[in-house]
Amino acid sequence: MEITAEQVKELRERTGIGMMECKRALEEAGGNAEKAIEILRKKGHARAKDKAERATSEGAVGAYIHSNAKIGVLVEVNCETDFVARNEEFKQLVKNIAMHIAAANPIYIAPDNIPADILDKEKDIVREQFKDSKKPAEIVEKIVQGKMSKFYEEVCLLEQPYVKDDKQKVKDLITAFIAKFKENTRVCRFTRYEIKK
């Protein structure tokens, strides 16, 4: 199938990934843009894993104040170089993450940040719900894992569906940035303030 320059341009605009990579992904996906995005994400994710161990000593602190002035967020996002930290797309990423935190109210950055006692308590609650169900133990454990995945989506920033595009998670947003700029990028910490009645 012939891939047109217009298809490549459109995919590049949607993903921010290089023209040749977009063209190859479209060829691999038979011209289907959604499949091509999935292919690019998988490749980007692999590259992001390669960079995950690299030091992030630069970055920015972003802030978001909701229009009603009752919710505010401060977030620190780190990257490897000052060059990327000063880039407008990096600043926009930081701002978008701060806005997401304001809207979605995560408690932790990632599942690794959840204290073991809280994880154990959540698992015990699910197991207790199925205690009298007569389901085999291995089935109950599969259910527990499924419920824990939902729990992570509720409380962990990186696992939450991104508020501006719920077809991707926040971690996918960061992975796409890493794939584009070839630098490890991570959320270091955040604080969310809310005035409650």
Domain ranges of the chain: 5-51, 58-109+156-194, 115-154
The pLDDT score that the predictor gives to residue 40 is 75
CATH topology of domain 5-51: Helicase, Ruva Protein; domain 3 (1.10.8)
List, in order, residues 6 or more apart from 176 with CB less than 8 Å away: 15, 16, 17, 41, 44
Question: What CATH architecture is 58-109+156-194?
Answer: 2-Layer Sandwich (3.30)
Per-residue pLDDT of the chain (197 residues; tens, 9 = 90+): 688 888 888 877 676 666 777 888 888 888 888 888 788 777 664 555 555 566 667 899 999 999 889 999 999 999 988 888 999 999 999 999 999 999 999 999 999 999 999 999 988 888 888 777 777 878 878 888 888 889 999 999 999 999 999 888 999 899 888 888 888 899 999 999 999 87
- pLDDT value at residue 101: 97
What is the pTM assigned to this prediction?
A: 0.69
The beta-strand segments (E) located in the chain are 58-65, 71-79, 161-162, 165-169, 186-194
Interhelix angle 5-15/19-28, rounded to 10 degrees, is 110
In 3D space, the residue among 170, 21, 165, 181 whose CA is nearest the CA of residue 86 turns out to be: 181
| Residue whose C-alpha is closest to residue 32's, from 63, 59, 10 | 10
pLDDT at site 96: 96
> What per-residue confidence (pLDDT) applies to 54?
62
